[in-house]
Structure 1
Amino acid sequence: MIKNTFILLDGIGEKRERRLWRQGVLTWEDFFNCVEVLDIEWEKKKNYDEFLRRAYDALLCKDCYFFARNLKKREHWRLFEEFISEAVCLDIETSGLTPEKGGYVTVVGLYSVNGYKALVKGENLTEETLQEAINEHKFLITFYGTIFDIPFLKKEFPNLKIEHIPHFDLFFAGKRLGIQGGLKKLETMFLIEREDELKGLNGYDAVRLWKAYLNGSIDSLERLISYNKADTENLFHIGKIFYDMLRTQVGIEEFINNGKYRSSQKVS
């Protein structure tokens, strides 16, 4: 999807992007090959070509920072397919209180194509280990992480650097698609199953399991980690579903299926 994206360009919004698609300019390569595009002046077209070539180079070397800087946050979902192998799903568990009232992060779960990793308070969760784990990836997937997970982590670990990588927040993607509800509701909607022992567990249970662990129950910690693992794995599945739905919503699939490329000619 990112190679079909023209809203990277200053002065190109969603409407003009769709005009380009409608006229057969579906990819950056198509744009390069057109002598003239829409009503874009020659000098601006030249600048656009130069910028898109930089974007193309950034994509080739998986420079996620380039896109984090130049693509609006609400459009970071467009990077999902290209950065899937470098993506990480992140979800935190907490003690149940806000940081202002002494609350803290108990578990940070990170799931990627390489598997799941849990960072647990008092064992291996530090600012350094969390930063190292994040630095291994180039694309972030959360559910409501923009509002909850990331700010909570930043309050506990003030020097943590995480905003510099593209972030696909599934909560806001759902709102954009007209889909309301929390992660568990989405799992039910899309027929995503959890193991029997994890069904029905929620955030309140996660707090309870942590307290039981502090009182000596190792089994409670293992169950808490299993609960968090399910959360992060399912973020990955829902991310793929939402990505496909968003592609359909913006209309690119229709143009790809029905449109014709118009290389090396004027498109107006």
Structure 2
Amino acid sequence: MIRHSFILLDGIGEKRERRLWKEGILTWDDFFQCKEILDIDRERKKIYDEFLHKALEALIKRNCYFFKKNLKRREHWRLFEEFLKEAVCIDIETNGLTHEKGGYVTLVGIYSIDGYQVLVRGENLTEENLQQIFDKYKYLITFYGSIFDIPFLKKEFPKLKIEHIPHFDLFFAGKRTGIQGGLKKLEAMFLIERSDFLRGLNGYDAVKLWRAYQKGSIDSLEVLIAYNRADTENLFQLARIFYEILRAQAGIDKFIDNGTLNTA
């Protein structure tokens, strides 16, 4: 979708982007090949061409920061397909308190095409290990993470550098599509399954499981990790669903279907 996107350009919003698509300007290559486009004068066209060439170079070099800097946060969903293999889903669990009242992260779940891994407090949850995770991947997927997970991590690990990664927050993607609710509600809506023994568990149960683990229950930690794993892995499925919905709302496929182009 990002290669169909022109809202990166200064002065181009969603309406003008659709006008470009309607004129048959469906990709950056189409834009380069046209000398005259809508009411864009020559000087502005030259500036736009130069910027889109930089965007293309950034894609080739896998420079995610270029898009974090130049693409509005609400539009980071457009990068999903392009950075799919370099995406990471993050979900944290805490002890149930705010950071100001003694709250802390109990574990961090990480899921990508490489599989699931977990960082547990007192074992391998360190700022260094977290930074290695964020340095490895180029696209972040969370649910309400821009409000909860990432700020919480930053307070506990103030030197953590996450700002370079585009962020697809599925909570706000849902609001934009008109589909609202918590993660468990959305899983049920879209028939995303989790193991029977995890159904019904919620964030408060995660807090109680951690407390039980602190009192010596290894089984409680295993259930907590399984709960977190389901949350984290299911983000990937939900991201795919919201990406397709947002793409449909943008309307690009209608113009592609009317022509000969058929790319992601």
- Corresponding residue SS for 1:201: coil
Q: CA–CA distance in 1 between the matches of 2:226 and 2:121? A: 16
Q: Does residue 37 of the first structure (1) align with residue 37 of the second (2)?
A: yes
- State the SS of the aligned residue for 2:144: coil
Ranges of 4+ aligned residues in structure 1 off by more than 4 Å: none
Name the aligned partner's letter for residue 203 of structure 2. G
Secondary structure at the counterpart of residue 204 of structure 1: helix
1:241 is matched with 241
Q: Deviations 1:201-230 (Å, cap 9, x if unpaired)?
A: 100110010001000011110110110010
Q: Give the aligned partner of residue 255 of structure 2.
A: 255
Separation (CA, whole Å) in 2 of partners of 1:76 and 1:121: 31
* Separation (CA, whole Å) in 2 of partners of 1:195 and 1:7: 41
Shift of 1:163: 2.0
Residues 164-219 of structure 1, C-alpha deviations (whole Å, 9 max, x = no match): 21000000000000001000000000001101111111001100100010000111
Pairing of 1:188-203 with structure 2 (within 5 A):
188-203=188-203
* 2:58 matches 1:55: no
Task: Tell me the equivalent position of 2:138.
Answer: 138
Gaps of 5+ in 1: 262-268
Aligned residue for 2:69, secondary structure, equals helix
Paired residues in the alignment total 261
Corresponding residue number in structure 1 for 2:67: 67
Q: Secondary structure at the match of 1:140?
A: strand
CA distance in 2, matches of 1:232, 1:117: 10
Aligned partners of 1:203 and 1:169: how far apart in 2? Answer: 18
The superposition leaves residues 106-127 of structure 1 with CA deviations (integer Å, 9 ceiling, x where unpaired) of 0100100000110000000011
The residue type equivalent to 1:159 in the other structure is K
How far apart are the structure 2 equivalents of 1:107 and 1:158?
Answer: 17
Equivalent residue number for residue 212 of structure 1: 212
Contact 1:131 1:160 survives alignment (8 Å)? yes
Instruction: Write out aligned runs for 1:54-203 (5 A).
Output: 54-203=54-203
Three-state SS of the structure 1 residue aligned to 2:119 is strand
Partner SS for 1:93: strand
CA positional deviation for 1:260: 6.2
Alpha-carbon distance in structure 1 between the residues aligned to 2:59 and 2:260: 24
Mapped partners of 2:37, 2:259: distance in 1: 16
Counterpart amino acid of 1:166?
Answer: P
Q: Counterparts of 2:36 and 2:260 in 1: how far apart (Å)?
A: 17
RMSD of the alignment, in Å? 0.9
- Once residues 204 and 157 of structure 2 are traced to their aligned partners in structure 1, the CA distance between those partners, rounded to angstroms, is 23
1:245 aligned partner, one-letter code? I
**Rounded Cα–Cα distance in structure 2 between residues aligned with 1:173 and 1:257:** 25
Separation (CA, whole Å) in 1 of partners of 2:181 and 2:85: 28
Output the TM-score relative to the length of structure 1.
0.96
Describe the superposition over 1:33-92 as per-residue Cα deviations: whole angstroms up to 9, x where unpaired: 001111000011011111101100110111101100100000000000000000000000
Q: CA deviation at 1:259?
A: 3.9
In the alignment, the residues of structure 2 paired with residue 98 and residue 25 of structure 1 have an alpha-carbon distance, to the nearest angstrom, of 49
SS in 2 for 1:118: strand
Per the alignment, residue 222 of structure 2 pairs with 222
- TM-score normalised per structure 2: 0.97
1:133 CA drift (Å): 1.1
Task: Answer 1 or 2: higher relative contact order, Cα 8 Å, separation at least 6.
Answer: 1
In structure 1, how many angstroms separate the alpha carbons of the residues matched to 2:133 and 2:29? 35
